[in-house]
Structure 1
Amino acid sequence: MNYSQAANIYSQTKVRTSGRGQLIVMLYEEAVKQMGIAQEIMESPENRDPGNIEKTNKAILKTQEIITELMASLDFEKGGEIAQNLYSLYTFFNKELMTANIEKNVEKIKSVKTFMEQLHSAWKEIAKTTVVPEQPVRGLNITG
């Protein structure tokens, strides 16, 4: 097993064993990471290289997919006005990222990234204070 395979298995295990709040934190972390990749490439002198344009596009699209997943995870019944506000923010973020990708506008990426970093910090605090009930451990019935 190589490093990449081991890292992938570790990530899958982390996702399967995390609570809802921690999963949201992981989504924010990955979104911020992807925007950082896009920002770094766009600010580099070689940003017009076709390979870099493709990498930027992939990073932005991955961020948009994550934001769409965050939108889908909102519970409007329990979340009320907060869920509505987050939905509006996520919609705005996706539009800004689409424009940033089309226009190759790094300032729009920086702006969305700053907001996402703030939301990430808030969700980290929420995840720390939210107690996830542990699943009872059951023994195996080996007698049949």
Structure 2
Amino acid sequence: MSFISPRRHMGSYQAVDTVSRVEGASPHQLVVILFDELLLRLDAAIRHAERGEAVPMIQARARASAIVMALEESLDFEKGGELALALARIYREASRRINAALSPDKVDVLKSARQMLAEIAEAWKRIAPK
């Protein structure tokens, strides 16, 4: 008899949940999903940094950085005007902070990036159609 560890398969369940949410999502809802995943990756990076786990921290940080780049690339500067420019500046600063956190002793830098991005994520959740 074998027992399946729920923790071991958590990633699989989360992937299925994410795929389910993406199917049929509006562009606004897709941005919300990206922010949800981004905050999860930053939380993981912070958790690993606080435990002194450099390799998993760097992996989570790299995933978070890729999501921030995707968010910036999705900006429409023609339609978004000043708001898009402001978001681009915030994304670049958050990306700089995420990329500056090269070791577990830089957890405060990750936390500051997360705080910046969490505020934007909350705003997107408020305006995204349900």
Tell me if both proteins adopt one fold, taking TM over 0.5 as the criterion: yes
Residues 1:112 and 2:113 aligned together: yes
Shift of 1:24: 0.5
Aligned equivalent of 1:41, options 23, 48, 64 = 48
In the superposition, the TM-score normalised over structure 1's length comes to 0.76
CA contact (8 A) 2:28 2:124 kept: yes
In structure 2, distance between residues paired with 1:127 and 1:82:
16
Aligned equivalent of 2:15, options 8, 12, 25 = 8
1:113 partner amino acid = R
Q: Please give the root-mean-square deviation of Cα atoms over the aligned residues, in Å.
A: 2.1
1:99 partner amino acid = A
Change in 2 beyond 3 A, CA 1:95/1:6: closer
In the superposition, the TM-score normalised over structure 2's length comes to 0.84
Q: Taking every aligned residue pair, what percent have the same amino acid on both sides?
A: 26
Deviation track 1:60-93 (CA, whole Å, cap 9, x = no partner) reads: 0000000000011100010000001111111111
Extract unaligned runs of 5+ from structure 1.
130-144
Shift of 1:54: 1.3
